[in-house]
Structure 1
Amino acid sequence: MNRTVRLYALVEELRAVAPRPMTVSALAARFEVSTRTVQRDLQALMETGVPVRTTTGRGGGWSIDREMTLPPIHFTADEASALAVALAAADACAPYAGAARTAAQKIAASMTGTASAAARQLAVRIVAQPSPTDSTVRAAVERALSTNTVLRLTYTDAAGRGSDREVEPAGLLTAEGRWYLIAWCRTRRSGRGFRLDRITEAAPTAEPAQPHDLTELLRGSAASGAVRPTTLAPLAPHLDQPKAPRR
């Protein structure tokens, strides 16, 4: 059994008995390796974000949080390759890029066989240009969206003019490889799109934002025909596809 397969099997072995812990010696006997090897593997899983933890004392050992891990998922080679491409697109300028990396680690741990091989082979053949987006800015935008709070930002437009704004986030727009925060701008008193790589400073507040309809804010703009990506339908099956406004 190679190490990649063993790491996957360790996760599933711990999932099978969760929330009860297993000792290193029991895991070593199960996989016919040394306790040192198991200890090293478990440490590697922790470092890659897999929610394994250890408890000491009588009845202690290693355990895993079932709610934070994936059961075995049977991807086809094409599905696994599609995931690799999608995750590559979540570069540093994309919202929630940090969470995308940890999600990728969990998905990788759930794949075996030809699907895993296909994804790994494609992954080493994808490159991306570094993004100028500030991670502090991205984190502030993510927090404002997640908590539905007012965001203070400094924005530089296409002509190089800077301005300070207070905005009420409505959602995100992706177009031609770029990401935009769509929000109600209190300064302009209308809907506006802010390209993430042009936001030079951002700070979330504790002030609740008023709810705004994303489709309404896009009405009359160059992105008025934007629709929800079909790939997101399984995540929001109860939501109707937003309709483009009548022209």
Structure 2
Amino acid sequence: MAVTSARTLRLLSVFGVGATLTAEELAERLEVSVRTVRRDIDTLRDLGYEIEAVRGAGGGYRLGRTTRLPPVVFDEEQAVAAAVALQTVPAVLSGIRENSARALATLRQAMPARSRIRTEPFTVSAARNYWEFPAAPIDAEIVRVIGGAINRQHTVRVDCTGEDGPTTLMLEPHALVVWAARWYLVAFEPAADRWRAMRVDRLEPGMPTGRSFDRRDIPHGDPIAFVMSTHDRGDIPAEWPCHGSALLALPASVVARFAPGGATVEYATDSSCRLSLGAWSWAGLAGLLLTFDADLTDIEPAELRRALRSLRNRIDEGLRYDA
């Protein structure tokens, strides 16, 4: 009976994500037979949970929209995921450390003993890795305001800090993306009839407008792909001891996708762009440019040119030695 109850609870947690899953998919996740899954579904129905059977293509089973889950229905894997997320979120959001610690404590108190045991023995600390080029954590309140506008499908008025000074924009917010430890807003700007990928830390949202909008199809069909392929997303150079730039014989969309965090990409032609970035040394900066495997021209400053020549000489010397 205890095994059956634990399995049924896990099935309920799977349904809690809101997905529609076939009996075969559920059986694979729970590592039981399809017959057992259907029996456990009947058990949940007997307990008063509305489990809908969706017919046709893409059909399966799902939790009814009016069903209320009991507090904190977590399996052991979800418990660990929640504990890790709550401990690492202060690395990307400021002003949230105390609240995340309180949330973790509350969550652990509400967990069944078996799940709590999985989360209590360990703590997670986030440290800066210089290869990740992280940005400073941003204000959690800004994320809350913009996230609320996305959920309610309300337009948002923001003050944006750009290279030409501050501007006020009216946007239709669609998604938030965290990439290279930086927060981006994917939004449509009706006044300019264009999609924007914008650094959230350069936005100051105003009072809620209460004006609704209809969702649009995001370019590339995916907010992550859109952010990664957009070169003019408001990035600013990260603070490093050495800064330089070069004209690369690659499209801006390609370089934007693979440029390290803290770099900026400027469109030049359909087949070239200027990449500006920083690093801990001139040799490190030269090495980053070489990873693009493209022709480099108009390289600035002179220190970067000397570093590239030095790397070339070292490589030539090494090849002669190996020969």
Tell me the TM-score normalised to structure 2 length.
0.38
Rg larger for: 2
Name which structure has the greater RCO, CA cutoff 8 Å, separation 6+.
Answer: 1
